[in-house]
Amino acid sequence: MLAGQLSDCWGKFQSLVVLNLAENRISGKVPNSFGTLQQIESIHLNNNNFSGEIPSLILCQNLKLIDVGDNNLQGTLPMWIGHHLQKLIILRLRANKLQGNIPTSMCNLSFLQVLDLSINNITGEIPQCFSNILALSNLMFPRKSFHYVTSSVSYTESIVHEIGFFSDKAKFALKGSNREYGKNLGLITTIDLSCNQLTGEIPQSITKLVALVGLNLSGNNLTGMIPNNIGHMKMLESLDLSRNHLSGRMPTSFSNLTFLGYMNLSFNNLEGKIPLSTQLQTFDSSSYVGNNRLCGQPLINLCPGDVTSPTRSPEKQLPDEDEDKLITFGFYVTLGLGFFVGFWGVCGTLVIKTSWRHAYFKFFKNMNDWIHVTLAVFMKRLKKNISSPRLTGKCIINIPSI
């Protein structure tokens, strides 16, 4: 594991394409000479102890991946990223001490698929122009492990010429957990702005990012309502808007998010009924906790229209009324007559018919004698069996006397 500071002599490595110094204990400032590496395509400096500001990389116009996450970098988000790094696909600056607004120049990054600015001190509003990022707003944008295949469309051909083949790895949070993506990295499209100080409303234009797979805006100071057209983002698999100050109802278009596998709307000020869909009712109630005026499944608090009336419905009253009407005076009269006829139909014949009475008592006397004799024979046989010697199943060894 590397430790200490890096010397500022990287201009000697002009043929360097991939620089991976991730997960070490390197400290100090990021060398300014990194900005002279004109052939560099990938820079991994994540999970170190770098401090200071991100040096200018405006000459590194072939860069497709920048990962300086989990360091102690300071300063504002560089404006030159969107102006000069037009081929950038992955930008990961998470878990630093960066501040200031998100520059609108980042909207110029047409190929950007992963933007992770989480766990910083970024302020201001979410730019409206994110919808200009073609890789996130166009489902027809070719992406396959960073290898963009040629088609008849001239624009796609220019992408193949400019981007070419690119393979790499990156680790970021999606669906509530951190994972490293390698082989399928080119298929991931996500924006993570969580755990910052962002304010204002979620822009309606963000719903134009129809190719987005993951969106995490949790842990900010966002206000207003969830965009009504959020259902247009049909590719969403992970959505986290928790721990903000969002209000109003959940849009009914939520039911269009059929690929949604992870969602968290907890600790906001949402209200009304949770829309019915094949997805929203399958999430745990923890996805909605902290919204006291939100109701409906899977929450235990019912909506006003779902509360059942304490009075029984006519359909349920009919069987109960029929049951009550069954026990009447006529019922008791019929029960008495039935008992009288049944009892005297049997016993009365024995009183009136002498021959039947004699036969009845003779039958029971013979039955009594038979039971007595059978029990006596059984007891005698039982005593005989007990007193006679039996083999117990154990081996008996006879030892002859000497």
CA distances from 169 to 9, 307, 338, 366 (A): 26, 52, 89, 98
Pairwise CA distance, residues 219 & 241, whole Å: 8
Task: Please say whether the beta carbons of 142 and 151 come within 8 A.
Answer: yes
| Residue 351 confidence class, pLDDT cut points 50, 70, 90 | low
Report pLDDT for 348.
65
Average pLDDT over residues 165-186: 67
Nearest to 47 by CA among 14, 13, 63, 24: 24
Report pLDDT for 143.
59
- 387 located within any domain: no
- 389 located within any domain: no
Provide the terminal-to-terminal Cα distance of the chain, rounded to the nearest Å: 89
- Is it the case that residue 109 has pLDDT exceeding 80? yes
- 203 located within any domain: yes
- 140 located within any domain: yes
Buried b / exposed e along 3-29 (16+ C-beta atoms within 10 A): eeebeeebeeeeebeebebbeeebeee
Q: What is the 3-state secondary structure (H, E, C) of 154-209?
A: HHHHHHHHHHCCCCCCEEEEECCEEEEECCCHHHCCEEECCCCCCCCECCHHHHHC
| Residue 172 confidence class, pLDDT cut points 50, 70, 90 | low
| Residue 400 confidence class, pLDDT cut points 50, 70, 90 | very low
- 38 located within any domain: no
Report pLDDT for 266.
96
- Is it the case that residue 196 has pLDDT exceeding 90? yes
Domain extent, residue 275, equals 125-305
Higher pLDDT, 192 or 180: 192
**Average of per-residue pLDDT values in the chain:** 82
The domain spanning residue 287 has which CATH number?
A: 3.80.10.10
CA distances from 275 to 109, 247, 279 (A): 35, 15, 10
Nearest to 82 by CA among 130, 149, 39: 130
Higher pLDDT, 16 or 351: 16
- Is it the case that residue 339 has pLDDT exceeding 60? yes
Higher pLDDT, 369 or 191: 191
| Residue 399 confidence class, pLDDT cut points 50, 70, 90 | very low
- Is it the case that residue 325 has pLDDT exceeding 70? no
Higher pLDDT, 307 or 263: 263
Beta bridge partners of 179: 172
pLDDT tens-digit profile of 55-82? Answer: 999 999 999 999 999 999 999 999 999 9
Report pLDDT for 373.
81
Whether the model pTM is above 0.85: no
Residue 370, SS3? helix
- Is it the case that residue 24 has pLDDT exceeding 80? yes
| Residue 148 confidence class, pLDDT cut points 50, 70, 90 | very low
pLDDT tens-digit profile of 241-300? Answer: 999 999 999 999 999 999 999 999 999 999 999 998 878 889 999 999 999 999 988 988
Task: Please say whether the beta carbons of 254 and 228 come within 8 A.
Answer: no
- 31 located within any domain: no
- 264 located within any domain: yes
What DSSP element (H or E) covers 337?
A: helix 329-352
The residues, ordered by sequence, that sit 6+ positions from 155 with a Cβ below 8 Å of its Cβ are none
- 375 located within any domain: no
Pairwise CA distance, residues 178 & 114, whole Å: 14
Q: How many domains would you assign to the chain?
A: 1
- Is it the case that residue 333 has pLDDT exceeding 90? no
- Check whether the bond before 298 is cis (ω within 30° of 0): yes
